Amino acid sequence: MQVNYYKTIDFKKYPFAKKIRHHVTATFYIPLSELSIVPRGYPPLIKKEDIDNLFLNGKSANILDIGCGKGKFLLNYALENENDNILGIELRTEPVEWINSVIDGEKIPNARAIWYSVVNGLDFLDDNSIDKIFYLFPDPWPKLRHHKRRVFTVRFLEMIYKKMRKNAMLYLATDVDYVNKEQLKILNQFGKFSVKEVINRDEWNLPITNKERFCLEKNIYVYRHICTK
């Protein structure tokens, strides 16, 4: 049985220390191996030993939230699913620091966030170890010159597929029509997932994100898909 403890967190105890940037340097979306010069502030590479004992419960991650943003979905999921360990991956340092301050302050045993660029791979995770991956409301990068920043590619799918257990699920959500179409095209090119569109949110059965709440309040359609290995 899932119980929502999320509202018991008093977020007034955890004010943001400074304004969180919406975007980061374009080179942060390029693998380190492809850069001739490493830009200042580029997220460090992660090794397996870096995430050993990362969670307060001493267990390993079995859930990923890629692009976890300010982390309220991550925190809510952790509190509703005590048997899962959810790891958030985020390019910006400010939300990662804030998320982990809440986790430590509230002693949430099964959540953690790391500052990392997922384009550098997931070698720090064991193959066939992940049950669910969330890739929710990514930045659409509408300008043509910014399309290279879009993480969702066949290469991305190949990377996560190796880490997913049999019958593991990839959850996708966006309110942008062309992002949805591009993701479906790439999934079709990859060809290894069973893809199901979720029309009724009751079938989604996940905590609501800040972006999703905004869409529901403004009556903006949200495209949702569950992709099963």
Burial class (CB in 10 A: 0-12, 13-18, 19+), 104: exposed
Which distant-in-sequence residues (6+ apart) come within 8 Å of 145 by Cβ? none
Whether 146 has a pLDDT exceeding 70, the answer reads no
For 193-223, the pLDDT digits (tens) are 999 999 988 889 999 998 999 999 999 999 9
Q: For the chain, what are the domain ranges?
A: 44-228
Strands (E), the chain: 63-66, 86-90, 111-115, 130-136, 164-174, 194-197, 223-228
pLDDT grade, residue 112 (50/70/90)? very high
**What confidence score (pLDDT) does residue 4 get?**
44
Which distant-in-sequence residues (6+ apart) come within 8 Å of 45 by Cβ? 32, 120
Tell me which of 46 and 29 has the higher pLDDT: 46
Q: Which residues in 123-152 are b (16+ Cβ under 10 Å) and which e?
A: ebbeeeebbbbbbbbbbbbeeeeeeebbbb
Average pLDDT of span 97-110: 95
Using only the alpha carbons of the chain, give its radius of gyration.
17
**What confidence score (pLDDT) does residue 114 get?**
97
Alpha-helical regions (H) of the chain = 48-51, 72-80, 93-106, 154-163, 177-190, 210-217
- Weakest-pLDDT range from 22-36, 77-91, 189-203: 22-36
**What confidence score (pLDDT) does residue 104 get?**
95
pLDDT grade, residue 19 (50/70/90)? low
User: Residue 160 — φ and ψ, nearest 5°?
Assistant: -75, -30
Which distant-in-sequence residues (6+ apart) come within 8 Å of 146 by Cβ? 26
**What confidence score (pLDDT) does residue 202 get?**
86
Whether 20 has a pLDDT exceeding 80, the answer reads no
**What confidence score (pLDDT) does residue 40 get?**
86
Write down the CATH superfamily of domain 44-228.
Vaccinia Virus protein VP39 (3.40.50.150)
Among 139, 175, 177, 202, the active-site one is: 139
Mean pLDDT of all residues belonging to the chain: 89
Percent of the chain residues topping a pLDDT of 70 = 89
Let me know: does 67 contact 136? Beta carbons within 8 Å: yes
**What confidence score (pLDDT) does residue 149 get?**
59
139 in catalytic set = yes
